[in-house]
């Protein structure tokens, strides 16, 4: 909730806005945002392909969707969101120059995030053991390819977080490090966001 709205409900008269407000700035390295934007557009294109395929063959998509466990999908969502929350705390700690909190929150972000890898391996193994592969039908082609590409993003994110953690342990938490951790945080949130769209698209859409 915006701060001003919260103050109004509590019966507090909001103070006048400051005369000079710092210009809004993108977190992290600006170039990372180009990477993120390009990646989001690529996934948007994937989602369009999937929707196009679903419109052309709704029965196969609907029947195939029932083979997916929405509970695991929801668990994955919660895991990634929790991991992202720890990442936010790590970025805040780094901005405040607190090394112990930065290290602790980055470690928690990685530990919780690794649950996503376990869950995906269990899910993929179950499907393959049931004879379902990306060659089964168009739905599963998209399912394996899109979640697989997302999983590669996740693995890269874990490596990036590991680098952030190593730097937090061994280097000064200076402006240069803040750019590092903010850029990594932006990427990690993108991994979340893509999953938040993938989950309903693949598991829930009727």
Partner 1 sequence: MMTVAREFTYWRFCAWMGPAFMAVFIVFWGIMGHNIPPWNPDLPDSIIAGWFRSQASIIRTGMVVAMTCAVFYAVWGLAIGRVMSRIVPRDSILIDLQVWGAGLTVVPVLVSTSFWLAGAYRPEALPDSILQLLYDWAWLLIDLAYSVTSLQLFALGVACLHDQRSKPLIPKWLAWYGIWVGFMFIAECLMPFFKLGAFARDGILNFWIEFLIWFFWCPTLTLYVLKAINRIEREEVK
Q: CA gyration radius for the chain? A: 20
34 binding partner 1? (CB under 8 A) = yes
Site pattern 135..174 for partner 1 (x: CB under 8 A): x--x--x---x---x--x----------------------
- CB nearer to partner 1: pick between 42 and 204: 42
Between 76 and 183, CB nearer to partner 1: 183
C-beta atoms surrounding 159 within 10 Å: 9
Angle, in degrees to the nearest 10, between helices 138-170 and 70-96: 20
Shortest distance (Å) from residue 49 CB to partner 1: 5
- Hey, is 29 helix, strand or coil? coil
Query: Among 173, 27, 175, 37, which residue's Cα sits nearest to residue 105?
Result: 173
Q: Does 32 bind partner 1 (CB under 8 A)?
A: yes
Alpha carbon 73 to chain centroid, angstroms: 14
Residue (of 130, 155, 15, 115) closest to 68 by Cα position: 130
Structure tokens at 2: 């915006």
Tell which one of 2, 11, 23, 31 touches partner 1 (CB under 8 A).
Answer: 31
Q: Using CB under 8 A, pick the residue from 7, 27, 47, 49 that binds partner 1.
A: 49
Candidates 12-20, 37-45, 79-87, 95-103: pick the segment binding partner 1 (CB under 8 A).
37-45
Terminal Cα-to-Cα distance of the chain (whole angstroms): 32
When binding is defined by CB under 8 A, the residue of 38, 44, 172, 204 that contacts partner 1 is: 38
Give the residues lining the site for partner 1 (CB under 8 A): 29-32, 34-35, 38-39, 42, 45, 49, 134-135, 138, 141, 145, 149, 152
């Amino acid at each position: 909730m915006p701060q001003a709205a919260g103050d109004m409900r509590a019966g507090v008269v909001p103070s006048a806005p400051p005369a000079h407000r710092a210009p809004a700035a993108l977190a992290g390295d600006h170039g990372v945002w180009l990477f993120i934007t390009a990646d989001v557009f690529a996934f948007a294109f994937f989602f369009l392909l999937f929707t196009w395929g679903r419109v052309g063959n709704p029965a196969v998509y609907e029947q195939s969707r029932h083979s997916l466990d929405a509970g695991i999908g929801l668990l994955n969502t919660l895991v990634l969101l929790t991991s992202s929350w720890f990442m936010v705390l790590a970025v805040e700690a780094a901005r405040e120059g607190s090394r112990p909190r930065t290290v602790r929150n980055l470690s928690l972000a990685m530990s919780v995030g690794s649950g996503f890898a376990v869950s995906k391996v269990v899910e993929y193994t179950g499907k393959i053991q049931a004879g379902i592969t990306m060659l089964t039908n168009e739905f599963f082609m998209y399912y394996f390819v899109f979640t697989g590409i997302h999983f590669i993003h996740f693995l890269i994110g874990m490596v990036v977080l590991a680098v952030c953690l190593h730097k937090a342990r061994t280097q000064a938490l200076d402006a240069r490090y803040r750019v590092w951790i903010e850029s990594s945080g932006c990427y990690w949130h993108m991994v979340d966001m893509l999953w938040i769209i993938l989950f309903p698209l693949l598991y829930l859409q009727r």
